[in-house]
Amino acid sequence: MSRLLGIALLILGIYFLGQNIIFATHYSPYLWRDIPAAASVLAIMGGIISILFFSRQTGNFGWILLGLGAVLVFLSGGVMLKPTSLWNFFISFAALAGGFQLITQGRLRF
């Protein structure tokens, strides 16, 4: 039951944090300007798939792909961050941290 609550808290934290992040793409007549945007999507998808389904075979490669994808998102210039309140950030971070602890350890440690 605690792991189910952890998943719910993790999803809630991602929802609150993701409300103020906008990913946008733009059309460019030059192909090489869209390479970081396409590579970021592919790297993030590959990282998530390797972490969820092939964690024993790939080791830390999935985390490296996720980090590379995050860097490429910001390099592509397609990320807009809306202002957020400190309270909204605190709630989302607390939900993410609590959900992660419930999933991994089965209980919350203060």
Q: For the whole model, what pTM was predicted?
A: 0.56
Contact 102, 6 (CB under 8 A): yes
Looking at residue 35, what is its pLDDT? Answer: 66
pLDDT tens digit sequence for 39-97: 887 888 888 888 878 777 877 888 899 899 888 877 776 667 788 888 888 888 888 88
Check residues 30 and 17 and name the one with the higher pLDDT: 17
Cα 44 from Cα 73, distance rounded (Å) = 10
Residue 34 clears pLDDT 70, i.e. is over it: no
Looking at residue 31, what is its pLDDT? Answer: 56
